[in-house]
Amino acid sequence: MESKFDSKEWSSGVWTHFTDVRRRSPLVQCITNLVSMDLVANTLLSAGASPAMVHSVAEVPDFTPHVHALCVNVGTLTPDWLPSMKAAAELASQLGKPWVLDPAAVSCSGFRLKACLELVELKPSVIKGNGSEIIALSSASQGHTKGADSSHESTEAIEAAKSLALSSGAVVAVSGAVDIVTDGKRVIGVHNGTKMMQKITATGCSLSGLVAAFLAVDPLHPLEATVSAMSIFGIAGELGEEMANGPASLRMHLIDSLYGLDETTVLSRVKITRLG
């Protein structure tokens, strides 16, 4: 099992990132969609981070300078919310704070696609989407949409992810059966997680929030921090599924598992491989 993965090279880094999040409890501002606010906040709390769902444009100038990372998720975007997303993203970039863009359901409208393209211009550290979202954003075209769900495997989005990483300067992460992380040159696959996680709304959004927390403790290594967050979240899902009867109890057990994760479990379960 172990030999199939390059996990030994990665596992101690994954654990170090996670312990740093627990020890430093980074403050993560989340301007996220209405569906996901609860699960994103609870995911961050269980991981040891400190979430703040502060989304008013009136509060950005006071609050954003104090955060350690920002997560912007356009899942329930309206024209009212876009200015605060842009203001927070712009300030985070100016102040050298890491931030994550989750282009949730980017291809559901021209308005949302344009908004995401404008947010990409504000230099996110990481763009995290599912396969369909990364393909649409990379090609700047809507194509077919299934809303927030993906109609592509993450592996189908590797070339799109590399191209988006090179054009934007961001690390690009594609969630799915294999989570893909690329800076345009290296391509890493994270093989943790379980299929049932797709059946809980906002697991992808929560993962984006968690990536922001991991970036906060290692902003100079966005690819490695993203890989670590994805592996940790996937491991929590695997452990949660062992106790769950279905998606609703997986949601609860995933949060509990994230909270209780220990070093031995993490080191034995990390499954990471270099794909390119």
Ligand X SMILES: Nc1ncnc2c1ncn2[C@@H]1O[C@H](COP(=O)(O)OP(=O)(O)O)[C@@H](O)[C@H]1O
Ligand Y SMILES: Cc1ncsc1CCOP(=O)(O)O
Q: Return residues touching ligand X (CB under 6 A).
A: 130, 149-150, 175-177, 179, 193-195, 197-198, 203-204, 207, 233-234
Based on CB atoms, which residue is closest to ligand Y, 104 or 136?
A: 104
Which of 21, 41, 49, 104 lies at the binding interface for ligand Y (CB under 6 A)? 104
Smallest separation, CB 79 to Mg ion (Å)? 21
Smallest separation, CB 30 to ligand Y (Å)? 13
The Cα-based distances of 219 to 10, 96, 173, 188, 201 in angstroms read 17, 9, 16, 18, 28
Which of 16, 19, 76, 273 lies at the binding interface for ligand Y (CB under 6 A)? 76
Q: Are 99 and 91 in contact (CB under 8 A)?
A: no
Based on CB atoms, which residue is closest to ligand X, 183 or 241?
A: 241
Smallest separation, CB 192 to ligand X (Å)? 7
Does 105 bind ligand Y (CB under 6 A)? Our answer is yes
Residues in Cβ contact with 11 at an 8 Å cutoff, skipping those fewer than 6 apart? 266, 267, 270, 272
In the list ligand Y, ligand X, Mg ion, none, the entry touching 179 (Cβ below 5 to 8 angstroms by class) is ligand X
Residue number with the shortest CB distance to ligand Y?
Answer: 75
**Token code pair at residue 202:** 């906002």
- Give the whole-angstrom CA distance, residue 14 versus residue 27: 20
- HEC-encoded secondary structure of 88-113: HHHHHHHCCCCEEEECCCHHHCHHHH
Residue listed under structure tokens 């393209």: 117
Does 33 bind ligand Y (CB under 6 A)? Our answer is yes
- Tell me the β-bridge partners of 69: 28
Which of 35, 45, 53, 140 lies at the binding interface for ligand Y (CB under 6 A)? 35
Per-residue x/- mask for ligand Y, residues 122 to 161, rule CB under 6 A? --------------------------x-------------
Residue listed under structure tokens 């927390």: 213
Helix (H, G, I), strand (E, B) or coil at 172: strand
From the list 119-127, 198-206, 237-245, 256-264, the region that binds ligand Y by CB under 6 A is 198-206
Per-residue x/- mask for Mg ion, residues 187 to 226, rule CB under 5 A? -----------------x----------------------
Handedness of CA 99, 104, 107, 110 (dihedral sign): negative
Which of 26, 75, 103, 237 lies at the binding interface for ligand Y (CB under 6 A)? 75
Q: HSE on the CB side for 91, CA within 13 Å?
A: 22
Which of 201, 265, 267, 275 lies at the binding interface for ligand Y (CB under 6 A)? 201
- Give the whole-angstrom CA distance, residue 163 versus residue 74: 21
Contacts with Mg ion by CB under 5 A lie at 104, 204
